[in-house]
Structure 1
């Protein structure tokens, strides 16, 4: 079972039904399939073959959708990269993935490093013409070619890069089965999705949550409405105009949306489902949302790229078990284990391990791209070890208590502190750095850095934040930088981040004004 076959089926069954809406562009399933076929032919003519990687460095738009399914229909592997990343970050992905094709629209921060990292790749411009690059409009106009049949064994579909505790992103290799099982079958059944639903995406399609809604909509045969850029007032107008029925929401988006919803709740009359992240979504936000939109049902989930939808809460459980991330998704095996891998009793804390079948089947990723060591460390005896620490109550509800991996969750994005720390340490005025997450009124958590300056160094807080902004995505940079003579450490030399969090409150007062550095 392959993703592109869903589009082909919908194009035959309901060719005039709206498939993708973005800005002023509207594509029916028939039109979308025609574009996919033309682009697949153009890719094939230029040598794209099964197993080749296609890097999509694109902002939100129909081009992302078209190129995704065109690549998949040739057995190629899609590598999405949000334009919020810096050219350094995208160049790293390009060097690691070694793409045959790089598609861009000029919305990223720069392409020079990417071109050097992906030397020999075809560069395709989906935006303004760029010297030497081929044009997406020209590819769309090419005659449709009979594309070669994809061998049945070519099931790899996507590489999603996730930052890690080492500070270097690694690519989670997902198969067609992973994506279809999670976003079509599991989500569809759990949330009651239908072909008549209209799905709204307000986050980058290249990000996990945005792509999830794309997969929900286009596998079930519904309509995908994509916002080019999020704006609270514009979001409400789009919901009303397009009669959106399903929307995904992270806490940051919810906080920004509430005043607009309070001013015009009637604009959300078509909404019937809001899907929210299970972790770190405050119950007071959910209560405010339902207070304004009592006809909407909330569903939340706890998921990860490597293991899919692990647990979920239905509408009523959002309020009866507000601190929980829910109970295991039907068909998903979940166990809590200690450091030796032994089961822990109810009420005790253990690491969440998940199993849904052999790697690449059902929800379990096939592995990390070209990283057998990291794959073996994560998937042990068929179980994905998530790095999240939790306890389970007598009714089977799970409660996240800590992250084994050092991570900040800000605005729906995972930020691994090691990556930010290494970026800070690369500045010549920094001897050492440690990063923690602190509460933030808008983003849930914000990044706060403690820095040991080098003798004679003269870097200011502003200079270090600017330094980070040039090397990592803007959402990863510290909101504040605090200078210390020496980072607190234990007898083994490990930085005591609990002590740093205490110092953060002591030195900054009640954190979380919601004013992030731009």
Structure 2
């Protein structure tokens, strides 16, 4: 594997996440660890079930470094499995419930998973091929011939801690970045990377009786970066199997939630709940946002009406450069994603790999203490992802375009692959989307490049109108283009009922583009 050699932080981690979880359970066994619906689990009970999971896996023949897959909605068994796999020395491989069966098949084959734990809700995604795989199959919450039963497996396992020795270089988790077509890329994180992320536990108050509400799926790094710090801090994780804006607010009020990680689409839905202001949200201390840029107007609304701090993280599942915007402390910088986090170095480069001058747009590359070990079994992909500076230090390419303002705050422009090249000119879809979203009748928007005989490709706007709006796409187009320079104008605007999004709120632009470019091939 190609060494990425992340920089050593000022206070390097000395304790694995596994060791701290073990210590927390011993320190306060009666404190609450997990809450999901009406089910509550103390730290002592959680620890015992982690041991049962670990011993059951070891009994199956799972050894250090083996990949163990999970396909489930958020649940207490999911949390038990996550920590139990680690305690057995295995590598947690959480699978996306948004992935197609073909992609899931490729992921399991790529990682050589030794076992898979599946919830009934998503069994249909693997039903067509799972019996043909050489791995242990466990049903989490249903009965099926040929699959072990989760609760029976745990009941037969020992509660003694197996005390598998772990090194910081050992594999922690494997997260697949492709859930649709093509060859899946497994992003491998080791124990060092996850332990290095724990430097944010105390500053963010995760170790101060925090009650963190998790409403994004546990297969996403977005979720994991709130889930693990809460447990590392000895606090309580509240799990939502499925996000609902009103139910979310009810849980915050009822449980006195102090911390949360949300993606931008969730913030918008929460703030749009008609009687949002009637909920008592005074317990909230810190709200985090990541996975996609949070619009400045939504940030302002959150600051005005939703108690607690608002912190936005910009970074990648692969790791590398991380930027942080403490929104409540920087009200004039809400259009940015903040400044590089301590110990992180972010540069901007052109297509030739040269750094661009201050103020100009370039591809974002970064390095920091939290960098992936590499793409699993794919040194070729890892090598393509790397940019090296004049001192041969490794930076990760983000594929995102951005610029630094005069105060060193990072302003995102677009994904490199989403940039539209029309008549030889670079058009950033994000710039056009902000114009469309500034229209009072538009509640959601995406701009994609579609084929053009005259220009190669041209920008097309896809918008969702607010309830009750009666304007046409042409009327939205006319207003938007009046604010755009001639070379950046939209070719058309189409109205949609909804825009396709992933479970963590990212607009699936590849899905939006596909029909237009497939027509071009026929």
TM-score (norm 1): 0.78
**Shift in CA distance, 151/276, structure 1 to aligned 2, threshold 3 Å:** closer
Residue 488 of structure 1 contacts residue 499 of structure 1 at CA under 8 Å; is this kept in 2? no
Which sections of structure 2, spanning at least 5 residues, go unmatched? 1-14, 389-393, 421-428, 463-472, 478-489, 503-522
Query: Mean alpha-carbon deviation: is it higher for 263-272 or for 46-55?
Result: 263-272
Residue 336 of structure 1 contacts residue 349 of structure 1 at CA under 8 Å; is this kept in 2? yes
| Cα distance in 2, alignment partners of residues 69 and 164 from structure 1 | 24
Match of 2:345 in 1: 333
| Cα distance in 1, alignment partners of residues 107 and 147 from structure 2 | 20
**Shift in CA distance, 146/281, structure 1 to aligned 2, threshold 3 Å:** closer
Residue 165 of structure 1 contacts residue 406 of structure 1 at CA under 8 Å; is this kept in 2? no
- SS of equivalent to 2:196: helix
Per-residue deviation, 1:402 = 2.4
Per-residue deviation, 1:34 = 0.3
1:70 paired to 2:84? yes
1:86 paired to 2:100? yes
Per-residue deviation, 1:64 = 0.9
The structure 1 residue matched to 2:332, chosen from 306, 320, 324, is: 320
Query: Mean alpha-carbon deviation: is it higher for 386-395 or for 437-446?
Result: 437-446
**Shift in CA distance, 45/145, structure 1 to aligned 2, threshold 3 Å:** farther
Match of 1:359 in 2: none
**Shift in CA distance, 325/146, structure 1 to aligned 2, threshold 3 Å:** closer
- SS of equivalent to 1:304: coil
Match of 2:254 in 1: 241
**Shift in CA distance, 164/404, structure 1 to aligned 2, threshold 3 Å:** farther
CA distances 1:396-430 after superposition (whole Å, capped 9, x unpaired): 1111122223499xxxxxxxxxxxxxxxxxxxxxx
Residue 488 of structure 1 contacts residue 500 of structure 1 at CA under 8 Å; is this kept in 2? no
Per-residue deviation, 1:126 = 0.5
The structure 1 residue matched to 2:58, chosen from 31, 38, 44, is: 44
Match of 1:140 in 2: 154
| Cα distance in 2, alignment partners of residues 79 and 443 from structure 1 | 36
Residue 65 of structure 2 contacts residue 170 of structure 2 at CA under 8 Å; is this kept in 1? no
The structure 2 residue matched to 1:15, chosen from 7, 29, 43, is: 29
The structure 2 residue matched to 1:379, chosen from 386, 402, 423, is: 386
| Cα distance in 2, alignment partners of residues 333 and 217 from structure 1 | 26
1:355 paired to 2:367? yes
**Shift in CA distance, 164/340, structure 1 to aligned 2, threshold 3 Å:** farther
- SS of equivalent to 1:313: strand
Residue 19 of structure 1 contacts residue 32 of structure 1 at CA under 8 Å; is this kept in 2? yes
The structure 1 residue matched to 2:42, chosen from 28, 38, 41, is: 28
| Cα distance in 2, alignment partners of residues 151 and 335 from structure 1 | 34
The structure 2 residue matched to 1:178, chosen from 176, 187, 193, is: 193
**Shift in CA distance, 178/113, structure 1 to aligned 2, threshold 3 Å:** farther
Match of 1:168 in 2: 183
Q: How many residue pairs align between the two structures?
A: 442
Residue 447 of structure 2 contacts residue 461 of structure 2 at CA under 8 Å; is this kept in 1? no
Residue 66 of structure 2 contacts residue 114 of structure 2 at CA under 8 Å; is this kept in 1? yes
| Cα distance in 1, alignment partners of residues 501 and 242 from structure 2 | 19
Counterpart mapping for 1:28-427 below 5 A: 28-108=42-122, 109-115=124-130, 119-142=133-156, 143-144=158-159, 147=162, 149-150=164-165, 152=167, 155-163=170-178, 167-182=182-197, 184-185=198-199, 187-188=200-201, 191-260=204-273, 262-277=275-290, 279-293=292-306, 295-307=307-319, 310-356=322-368, 362-381=369-388, 382-406=394-418
| Cα distance in 2, alignment partners of residues 345 and 283 from structure 1 | 26
Per-residue deviation, 1:373 = 0.6
| Cα distance in 1, alignment partners of residues 118 and 447 from structure 2 | 29
1:488 paired to 2:495? no
**Shift in CA distance, 489/96, structure 1 to aligned 2, threshold 3 Å:** farther
Alignment RMSD: 3.1
Residue 449 of structure 2 contacts residue 459 of structure 2 at CA under 8 Å; is this kept in 1? no
- SS of equivalent to 2:174: strand
| Cα distance in 2, alignment partners of residues 37 and 71 from structure 1 | 9
Match of 1:430 in 2: none
CA distances 1:281-314 after superposition (whole Å, capped 9, x unpaired): 1121122222223x42111110111115610111
CA distances 1:43-86 after superposition (whole Å, capped 9, x unpaired): 10110001111011111101111111111112211111132333
Residue 189 of structure 2 contacts residue 372 of structure 2 at CA under 8 Å; is this kept in 1? yes
Match of 1:470 in 2: none
Match of 1:419 in 2: none
- SS of equivalent to 1:376: helix
| Cα distance in 2, alignment partners of residues 174 and 20 from structure 1 | 24
| Cα distance in 2, alignment partners of residues 113 and 165 from structure 1 | 17
CA distances 1:346-367 after superposition (whole Å, capped 9, x unpaired): 11122211122xxxxx301000
**Shift in CA distance, 444/368, structure 1 to aligned 2, threshold 3 Å:** farther
